[in-house]
Structure 1
């Protein structure tokens, strides 16, 4: 599974992460940069007077793979 991980610096100077699943894997750096800048400008996420996503820092496409090491067959027996 691929996940888009967006990192922002909040107005409290702490780094915040926003992880989005089921994203378009054809996104370009320009696409993501534009959206991150729009999010920061819109101040969509404010909590207790702190703008959580004030300054865009980075965006990463993270790919997770799952490897099953052991599984118990739970199929009903006749």
Structure 2
């Protein structure tokens, strides 16, 4: 499963990620940018009076791949 990771700058200039687990995998850059701009405009996300999402930095799909090396059977 791919996740969508949106990276923003906070009002203090730090990077902050917003990750969605269940997303369409065919989103294009203009669609994602528009959604990120709407998140910024909503001003819904704040911590200690600091806006968490104030500037678009990046967006990417992230996929985790696991490769097993060793697994102990725990059945009794």
TM-score over 0.5 (shorter chain): yes
Please tell me whether Structure 1 or Structure 2 has the larger radius of gyration of its CA atoms.
1
Q: Paired residues, what number?
A: 76
Aligned partner of residue 33 in structure 2, secondary structure = helix
Question: Tell me, which stretches of 5 or more residues in structure 1 are unaligned?
Answer: none
Aligned partner of residue 16 in structure 2, secondary structure = strand
TM-score by length of 2: 0.88
Aligned partner of residue 17 in structure 2, secondary structure = strand
Moved over 3 A (4+): none
Question: Tell me, which stretches of 5 or more residues in structure 2 are unaligned?
Answer: none
TM-score by length of 1: 0.86
